Amino acid sequence: MTKKELLAVARKHGTPVVVIDHEVIRRNYANFRRHLPRVQAYYAVKANPAPEIVRTLYKAGASFDVASLPEFLLVHKNIERLPAKERQDFIWDKIIYANPIKPKETLQALDQYKPLLTYDNLEELRKIQRYAPHAGLVLRLRVPNTGSMVELSSKFGCDSGVAVDLIVEAFRAGLVVEGLSFHVGSQCTNFDNFVQALNIAAAVRQEALTRGHEIKILDIGGGFPVPYDDRVKPLRPLARKINAEIDRLFSKDMEILAEPGRYLVATAATAIARIIGKAFRDGKTCYYIDDSVYHTYSGIVFDHCQYRLHAFRSGENELSTVFGQTCDGMDIITQSEELPNLEIDDLVYSERIGAYSNASSTWFNGFAPAQVVHVNE
């Protein structure tokens, strides 16, 4: 969106406000499919669970990766609300429950849908056998996460050395292991993670085949990087590596899934905030805005992300600090942003803030989360 359009939204709705452009979401999805034609995109709902985004991506042809029962029901509810002419017959293989650890109550609620569930240990397998015996299973593998912004391998994924034993045990329990999955870590800029992970998965699949069990699905997870700055390589070179390894290691009838979240929504949103305070501290001008790290800028804390702030006002830039509106001392948006001399009530904005941002907003200190405005739905 242009600065003029952003200002119009802020004047109409007030601040703080997050503007989500659905044309960008559709473009990102189309780009993903173009570069990875064998891969079906299962949108990671946790990246931004707005119902409007779920509907847009479903219409575009996406499936969904959910990690909780509320996310599962959110997807189901919003797809069922679509007009009949826009809704294909809903099939439950449009959803994968990709959280390897699930409360027994969730399993009981999901069993009626015969869902596709991930697991990575024997205790989880036993729990699924008891509470969701009609589920199809996907075994999550532990793979390298070196260089990814958010590391996940220390929490999830079984070692490849025990993977086939877990597959065999599932079949012994009367369950069916349909696939393998892995996750190279969020915002993965080390493309070799994908190469190594694909080779690990291929080796596990081959060993399982020698023991009588054919695996037909491979979920390559998320981690597809977003260009927060010029140092991040675009999707195309990564896609070339992934496509080459998939074609080399897996037959054409292997079903390939992925779980892009950040990649689909990060660049679709812009946050707009208002300067509510100004001071001079430690040799720098400090601004206070009506948003915070407990709200739209939560990705600074939870996602190891740094969002650039830009001013609508022009002028000579100076090194500035920007604080959030809460009384917490850790509520710091940035200590080194180049901004012109701003005044109370001036507006600033941050781009590429659609993933793991307002989705994690709280009401800390009594401040409400930013209003969300959807455009081009």
Tens of pLDDT along 241-254? 999 999 999 999 99
Residue pointed to by tokens 């260009």: 227
Q: Are strands 95-97 and 116-119 parallel, antiparallel or unpaired?
A: parallel
Q: Are residues 229 and 330 in the same domain?
A: no
Q: What's the pLDDT score for residue 90?
A: 47
- Distance in angstroms (rounded) separating the CA atoms of residues 8 and 25: 21
Q: Are residues 208 and 77 in the same domain?
A: yes
Domain finish residue from 221, 248, 265: 265
Find residue 277's DSSP bridge partners: 288
- Distance in angstroms (rounded) separating the CA atoms of residues 331 and 102: 33
Q: Are residues 278 and 260 in the same domain?
A: no
158 catalytically annotated: no
Question: Is pLDDT larger for residue 147 or for residue 4?
Answer: 4
Q: Are residues 106 and 250 in the same domain?
A: yes
Please compute the mean of the pLDDT values over residues 135-147 and round it to a whole number.
92
Q: Are residues 234 and 154 in the same domain?
A: yes
Specify which of 229-233, 269-273, 302-306 reaches the highest per-range mean pLDDT.
Answer: 269-273
Q: Are residues 235 and 317 in the same domain?
A: no
Six token digits for residue 3: 């600065």
Q: Are residues 233 and 214 in the same domain?
A: yes
* pLDDT exceeds 70 at position 239: yes
Q: Are residues 127 and 244 in the same domain?
A: yes
Six token digits for residue 70: 């509320």
Residue pointed to by tokens 């040799």: 283
Q: What's the pLDDT score for residue 89?
A: 46
**Is residue 278 helix, strand or coil?**
strand
Q: Are residues 245 and 370 in the same domain?
A: no
Please compute the mean of the pLDDT values over residues 362-374 and round it to a whole number.
97
Q: Mean pLDDT across the chain, nearest whole number?
A: 93
Q: Which domain holds residue 292?
A: 3-17+266-375
Alpha helices, H only, the chain = 3-13, 22-35, 51-60, 69-80, 104-110, 122-131, 160-172, 192-210, 235-249, 262-265, 299-302
Report the range of poorest mean pLDDT among 88-92, 188-192, 299-303, 318-322: 88-92
pTM exceeds 0.85, yes or no: yes
Q: Are residues 172 and 65 in the same domain?
A: yes
Please tell me the total count of domains within the chain. 2
Q: What's the pLDDT score for residue 82?
A: 66
For residue 16, say if its preceding peptide bond is cis, omega within 30 degrees of 0.
Answer: yes
User: Catalytic residue among 158, 286, 305, 327, which?
Assistant: 327
Residue 259: which CATH number? 3.20.20.10
Q: Are residues 215 and 285 in the same domain?
A: no
Residues in CB range of 206: below 8 A, 6 or more apart: none
- Distance in angstroms (rounded) separating the CA atoms of residues 135 and 141: 19
Residue 288: which CATH number? 2.40.37.10
For 332-346, the pLDDT digits (tens) are 999 999 999 999 999
Domain finish residue from 233, 249, 265: 265
Domain finish residue from 246, 265, 284: 265
Instruction: Label residue 86 by pLDDT band (50, 70, 90).
Output: low
Instruction: Label residue 304 by pLDDT band (50, 70, 90).
Output: confident
Closest to 192 measured CA to CA, from 223, 160, 161, 156:
223
Q: Are residues 38 and 100 in the same domain?
A: yes
Residues in CB range of 106: below 8 A, 6 or more apart: 68, 69
Residue pointed to by tokens 């369950």: 175
Question: Is pLDDT larger for residue 123 or for residue 187?
Answer: 123
